[in-house]
């Protein structure tokens, strides 16, 4: 299955990116990860709302979301910001709150992945909880 090597690669890159010396490279990487998150959320939403016929893809998307959100704070290392970033200074100034929200998103992503894998009747609810968690963080920590 192609998704497992992709997930492993993304996790390795996330860890390595935290040690990137160039803030511009870190911002580019972070934007790509967040773009992937957004794409997977949009595709998952279309499947959950029965707008398209690719239900077999949902479990893979949910697992990818879980992997991408495993360690969000690593995408925002100290000194890992640049002029082209959408991150607010509060990501670093209110680090404990940011990490708390990131942990919430990680927990919600794991719950969504579990629901998607098990045909859980609360799948749509778990997806909404993940979506709300993402929105909450973006509201306070993104320009």
Residue range 133-142, pLDDT digits in tens: 999 999 999 9
Record the tokens describing residue 44, joined without a space.
């998952």
State the pLDDT at residue 65.
98
Q: What is the dihedral of CA 131, 40, 24, 83, to 10 degrees?
A: -40
pLDDT (tens digit per residue) in 88-104? 999 999 999 999 999 99
Separation CA 71–CA 83 (nearest Å): 23
The predicted model scores a pTM of 0.82
Residue ranges of the chain with per-residue pLDDT less than 70: 1-21
Taking a C-beta distance cutoff of 8 angstroms, is the pair 87, 76 a contact? yes
Q: Please list the alpha-helical segments (H only) found in the chain.
A: 3-17, 23-48, 58-68, 90-93, 95-117, 123-141
State the pLDDT at residue 120.
84
Domain boundaries, the chain: 3-141
Arch. (CATH architecture) of 3-141: Up-down Bundle (1.20)
Q: Which residue, chain included where needed, has tokens 């959320």?
A: 41
């Amino acid at each position: 299955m192609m998704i497992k090597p992709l997930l492993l690669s993304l996790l390795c890159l996330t860890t390595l990116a935290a040690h990137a010396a160039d803030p511009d490279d870190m911002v580019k990487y972070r934007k790509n990860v967040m773009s992937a998150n957004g794409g997977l959320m949009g595709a998952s939403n279309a499947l959950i709302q029965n707008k398209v016929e690719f239900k077999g893809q949902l479990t893979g998307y949910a697992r990818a979301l879980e992997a991408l959100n495993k360690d969000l704070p690593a995408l925002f290392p100290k000194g890992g910001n640049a002029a082209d970033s959408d991150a607010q200074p509060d990501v670093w100034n209110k680090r404990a709150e940011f990490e708390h929200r990131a942990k919430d998103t990680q927990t919600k992503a794991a719950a969504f992945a579990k629901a998607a894998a098990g045909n859980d009747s609360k799948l749509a609810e778990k997806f909404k909880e993940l979506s709300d968690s993402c929105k909450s963080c973006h509201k306070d920590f993104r320009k």
